[in-house]
């Protein structure tokens, strides 16, 4: 078996599992964050659910540890009170990013399973553990049962060959992989990365690469733990641990050889993490701000790389540099090593440990027209603010902050770029509103919104500035208001409409609202060539119909046509011309949950 098959089998009632099997998995760590945690509690209380095992149940406050938003503060207070009542451990605002905390505290270990409301929980693949971000219904079910249903994914192996070039960081490695595989060619696969140089990757480097598996559309990116990883995890857990590795005769859907020795320093252009290019294509682009942090690049190796560049230098005039360590332990280490003095002397702002700008709940956001270079994992429109965001390594971000424009650490000018008095950039933003509910038949008909786009992510569907909304009736008005060309969707959509899109719909965050906003409007279903893995689960668990197709061109479909969708047969028919294509019919699990009206 592959790594993921071994872990799933070990946590199920089966000795062996294969791709396509749907099994109940025992979850070792069931976790909710301050984002999503209040919704998890709402499901538990509304459905009179009990907690299966408080010793395996946790809350982490990482998206807004500063309490700078009133709704986040209210949600955190709700969680604290619930945790006190049930004896659940809270890793509070003084702690840092939850997935990193699970590793540091020995809660997540090689071979373990963990679920959180964080879509980057698959970061745990860095230590050979199975981590998944899921929506609040799934997490509530895990709190209650200790298990969730899961479909065993197919596995892919990527072998990196050759030596890693000097100056190519772990972030550059994953940006090169994004450039090679894009956002959806590995959609829904568990990926194992191996190679002679890979064995030398540090734990921090593995975390950086695994963290961006979400942006590649993968279920998870696994590394077989090396000695450094095992030593760290054994010290954190306080006991001897078993190495998890694939069997020599494990079967993979595909195997790729990728030349590591051809990798270069990269940046992702604004709007798409997978739109990664050689940094030469973006060099000399003037920046307004720079950010170092997030679950991808806020660890000690990252912070030391930044300090090495900033030491004895100043951030360019007019540029703001914000630095946020991943965990409080690393914050303390920066203090002890004198890194904070280097950061402050250079003119940077330092904040307490947490997710920062990536979660819209702390420092790191940018404004309309602002150009930012960031070590984050996402640069979807609106994700880290209302400006434009380039993604890069910590060294590139630090060098660019000193230069005043995008550059590499070995090409920092003696004199930084400066802004002229009339240099301004302004972006106009729009919003929208509306509402209403959904139907429950296994055959539906409705007017089509045909949106011919791939990779419509959850920030485009339901932006993170609305994440504190828990009332489904309020969600519909914000649907697609961050998708260019469809900002007025909620005003024009009618109950009974059906949305038809292309590949990888719902990639990105684990937010349940990206499903519930359609239910709020009365949209009957979403039909797509493929869906983001977390989005697919959220929709199924919410009894919101989603249907996949292989090809829809034969329908000669036009925006505004009426179609019929048969969930049990998987048939999609254009009622204007009576042409039909085959889609994927509902699985037994999907049909059962749909007929039940939801997971609960």
Q: How many CA atoms lie within 13 A of 180 on its CB side?
A: 16
Sign (positive or negative) of CA dihedral 88, 93, 99, 104: negative
Measure the CA–CA gap between 214 and 174, rounded to whole angstroms.
11
Q: What is the pLDDT along the chain (600 residues), one digit of tens a residue?
A: 999 999 999 999 999 999 999 999 999 999 999 888 999 999 999 999 999 999 999 999 988 887 677 788 888 999 999 999 999 999 999 999 999 999 999 999 999 999 999 989 999 999 999 999 999 999 999 999 999 999 999 999 999 999 999 999 999 999 999 999 999 899 999 999 999 999 999 999 999 999 999 999 999 999 999 999 999 999 999 999 999 999 999 999 999 999 999 999 999 999 899 999 999 999 999 999 999 999 999 999 999 999 999 999 999 999 999 999 999 999 999 999 999 999 999 999 999 998 887 766 567 788 888 999 999 998 887 777 788 999 999 999 999 999 999 999 999 999 999 887 776 655 443 433 333 334 468 899 999 999 999 999 999 999 988 887 888 999 999 999 999 999 999 999 999 999 999 999 999 888 999 999 999 999 999 999 999 999 999 999 999 999 999 999 999 999 999 999 999 999 999 999 999 999 999 999 999 999 999 998
Dihedral sign, CA of 186, 191, 195, 198? positive
The radius of gyration of the chain from alpha carbons, rounded to an integer in Å, stands at 23
With beta carbons less than 8 A apart as the criterion, state whether 376 and 357 touch: yes
Contact criterion met (CB below 8 Å) for 127 and 109:
yes
**Domains, in order of start, for the chain:** 3-262 (3.30.499.10), 282-403 (3.30.499.10), 443-596 (3.20.19.10)
| Residue 220 and residue 125 in contact, taking contact as beta carbons nearer than 8 Å | yes
Query: Using the 8-state DSSP alphabet, how is residue 587 labeled?
Result: P
* Type and span of the H or E element at 448: strand 443-450
Whole-Å CA distances, 402 to 189, 279, 338, 451: 40, 17, 19, 42
Which structure tokens are listed for 93? 């605002």
- Is the separation of the CB atoms in 316 and 416 below 8 Å? yes
Note whether 368 and 426 are within 8 A (CB).
yes
3-state secondary structure 322-370: EECCCEHHHHHHHHHHCHHHHHHHHCCEECCCCCHHHHCCCCCCECCCC
Residue 440 to residue 190: CA distance in whole angstroms: 33
**Cα gap 163→75, rounded to integer Å:** 48
**Cβ 358 vs Cβ 378: under 8 Å:** yes
- DSSP string for residues in 134-171: --HHHHHHHHHHSEEEEEPPPEEEEEEESPPPTT--HH
Cβ(589)–Cβ(22) under 8 Å? yes
Q: Cα separation of 246 and 7, whole Å?
A: 10
Say how far apart CA 525 and CA 591 lie, in whole Å: 14
Strand ranges inside 155-303, DSSP E: 155-161, 190-194, 220-222, 254-259, 266-268, 276-278, 289-292
Compute CA 399 distance to the chain's CA centroid, rounded to the nearest angstrom: 27
Taking the CA atoms of residue 537, residue 540, residue 542 and residue 546 in that order, the dihedral angle to the nearest 10 degrees is 110
CA dist 574 and 562 (Å) reads: 6
* Strand bridging mode 525-528 / 546-548: parallel
Residue whose C-alpha is closest to residue 168's, from 260, 301, 259: 260
- Contact criterion met (CB below 8 Å) for 438 and 524: yes
Residue 434: the pLDDT is 37
């Amino acid at each position: 078996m592959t790594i993921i098959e071994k872990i799933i089998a070990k946590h199920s009632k089966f000795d062996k599992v294969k791709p396509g099997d749907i099994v109940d998995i025992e979850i070792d760590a069931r976790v909710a964050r301050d984002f999503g945690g209040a919704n998890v509690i709402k499901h538990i209380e509304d459905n009179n659910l009990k907690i299966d095992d408080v010793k395996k149940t946790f809350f982490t406050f990482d998206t807004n540890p500063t309490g700078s938003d009133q709704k986040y503060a209210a949600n955190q207070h709700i969680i604290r009170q619930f945790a006190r009542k049930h004896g659940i451990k809270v890793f509070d605002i003084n702690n840092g990013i939850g997935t990193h905390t699970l590793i540091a505290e020995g809660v997540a270990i090689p071979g373990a399973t963990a679920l959180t409301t964080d879509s980057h929980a698959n970061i745990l693949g860095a230590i050979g553990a199975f981590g998944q971000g899921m929506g609040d219904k799934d997490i509530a079910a895990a709190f209650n049962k200790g298990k969730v249903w899961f479909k065993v994914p197919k596995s892919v192996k990527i072998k990196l060959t050759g030596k890693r070039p000097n100056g190519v960081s772990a972030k550059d490695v994953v940006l090169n992989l994004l450039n090679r595989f894009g956002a959806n060619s590995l959609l829904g696969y568990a990926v194992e990365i191996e190679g002679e140089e890979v064995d030398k990757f540090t734990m921090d480097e593995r975390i950086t690469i695994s963290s961006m598996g979400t942006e590649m559309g993968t279920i998870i990116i696994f590394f077989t733990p090396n000695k450094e990883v095992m030593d760290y995890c054994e010290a954190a857990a306080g006991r001897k641990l078993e190495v998890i590795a694939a069997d020599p005769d494990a079967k993979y859907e595909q195997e790729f050889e990728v030349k590591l020795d051809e990798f270069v320093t990269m940046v992702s252009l604004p709007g798409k993490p997978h739109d990664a290019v050689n940094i030469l294509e973006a060099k000399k682009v003037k920046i307004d701000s720079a950010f170092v942090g997030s679950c991808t690049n806020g660890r000690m190796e990252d912070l030391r790389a930044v300090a090495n560049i900033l030491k004895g230098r100043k951030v360019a005039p007019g540029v703001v540099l914000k630095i946020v360590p991943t965990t409080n332990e690393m914050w303390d280490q920066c203090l002890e090593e004198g890194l904070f003095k280097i950061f402050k002397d250079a003119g940077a702002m330092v904040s307490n440990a947490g997710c920062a700008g990536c979660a819209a709940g702390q420092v790191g956001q940018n404004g309309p027209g602002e150009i930012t270079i960031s070590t984050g994992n996402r640069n979807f429109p609106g994700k880290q603010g209302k400006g434009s965001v380039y993604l890069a390594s910590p060294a590139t971000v630090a060098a660019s902050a000193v230069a005043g424009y995008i550059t590499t650490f070995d090409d920092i000018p003696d004199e930084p770029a400066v802004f002229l008095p009339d240099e301004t950039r302004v972006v106009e933003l729009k919003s929208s509103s509306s509402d209403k509910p959904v139907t429950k038949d296994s055959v539906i008909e409705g007017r089509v919104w045909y949106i011919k786009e791939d990779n419509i992510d959850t920030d485009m569907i339901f932006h993170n500035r609305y994440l504190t909304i828990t009332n489904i009736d309020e969600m519909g008005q914000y649907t697609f208001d961050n998708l260019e060309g469809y900002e007025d969707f909620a005003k024009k959509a009618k109950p009974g409409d059906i949305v038809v899109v292309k590949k990888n719909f719902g990639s990105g965050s684990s937010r349940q609202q990206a499903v519930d906003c359609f239910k709020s409007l009365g949209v009957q279903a979403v039909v797509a060539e493929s869906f983001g893995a977390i989005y697919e689960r959220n929709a199924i668990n919410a009894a919101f119909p989603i249907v996949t197709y292989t090809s829809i061109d034969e329908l000669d479909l036009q925006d505004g046509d009426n179609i019929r969708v048969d969930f049990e047969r998987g048939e999609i028919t254009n009622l204007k011309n009576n042409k039909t294509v085959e889609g994927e019919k509902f699985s037994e699990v999907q049909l059962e949950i749909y007929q039940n009206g939801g997971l609960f």
